[in-house]
Amino acid sequence: MPHVNSVVPASPRQGRSRGGDWVEAPPLEDVLSGRASVRRGMEGPSVAWVQARLGLEVDGRFGPETERAVRSLQAAAGLTRDGVVGRKTSARLQDGFRPAPAEPGLPRPPTPGSGTSRPIRGFVELDVERLRAALPPQARHLAPAFLDAARRYDLDPRVLVAISKFETGGWRSTAFLDKHNAMGVSNARGPIAFARAGDSIERMARVLANPRGPYRAAATIGQVGAIYAPVGASNDPNGTNGHWPRSVGRLTDELVRDLG
């Protein structure tokens, strides 16, 4: 199971690009602020973010399909149709603008609301006892913590539970059992120890909801994954970070089915 090493977005891999033909895209923070652009031939977390915002398959490489999708968005938004994600195009992506395909061969974005397209924001009230019953014995005491953190930061508690389940391998990891770390929160030295597992849940929720933080423009599981676990990042030598959004989306869908 792939492991995401930090609540803070992973940094892109440095050095020669894969295959020798791709150049490293500028940092996502620079793209979000309009200080830098991304274009065809680049790879990295910034490209993954663009792909997630456009509803494309996320591979972190700005190829012809991504360029077509960018041009389609620009045409619909009345922007210069150059296929480059600069300041104005980035702003429209951050606003959530995503038109239907306007060019042959461009895939239609997935229907919002499920899987990687499921929104992370917006508190959903759940019965605490039903949630407790849906968790394994070693995690049942966390049901109130998931609900409290989600309510405080206006997040979907089912997404928090799904992240926790994925990051801890079903609440069986040593980080969870020995360090009370229910969310995979790590620093450069590895998983962080918490006094209570609920503290790790609160920290994850706070970072996801921070209006000035790295996830301020992320609205869905897929968009969080493109920042949190980008394919090709330094913590992803085998390219397994792509499992994160799909797995968290699937686990959230299961919780929606079981809990409403």
Domain boundary among 92, 111, 130: 111
List, in order, residues 6 or more apart from 213 with CB less than 8 Å away. Answer: 207
Query: Residue 189 has what pLDDT?
Result: 85
Domain CATH number, residue 150: 1.10.530.10
Residue 16 has pLDDT above 60, yes or no: no
Residue span of the structural domain in which 221 resides: 117-259
Q: Please tell me whether residues 232 and 215 are part of one structural domain.
A: yes
CATH number at residue 76: 1.10.101.10
Instruction: Tell me the pairing of strands 42-43 and 186-187.
Output: unpaired
Q: Which of 111, 138, 168 is the last residue of a domain?
A: 111
Mean pLDDT along residues 6-26: 56
Q: Are residues 143 and 210 in the same domain?
A: yes
**Are 76 and 48 contained in the same domain?**
yes
Q: Are residues 36 and 143 in the same domain?
A: no
Report yes or no on 3 lying in a domain: no
The reply to whether 12 falls in a domain is no
Assess if residue 5 is contained within a domain. no
Give the chain's radius of gyration (CA, Å). 18
In this structure, are 59 and 31 located in the same domain? yes
Q: Are residues 45 and 88 in the same domain?
A: yes
Nearest to 203 by CA among 189, 213, 188: 213
- Whether 4 is in a domain gets the answer no
Give CA–CA dist 198/191, Å, rounded.
15
* Residue scoring higher pLDDT (20 or 33): 33
Statement to judge: residues 206 and 138 lie in one domain: yes
* CA–CA separation, 110 and 114 (whole Å): 9
- How many structural domains is the chain composed of? 2
Same domain as 64, residue 124: no
Total-model pTM: 0.64
> Is 11 a member of any domain?
no
- Domain end, chosen from 90, 111, 132, is at 111
- pLDDT 10s digits, 177-202: 999 999 998 888 889 999 999 999 99
Residue 241 is assigned to a structural domain of this protein:
yes
pLDDT, tens digit (0-9, with 9 covering 90-100), for 155-173: 999 999 999 999 999 999 9
Q: Across-strand partners of 85?
A: 38
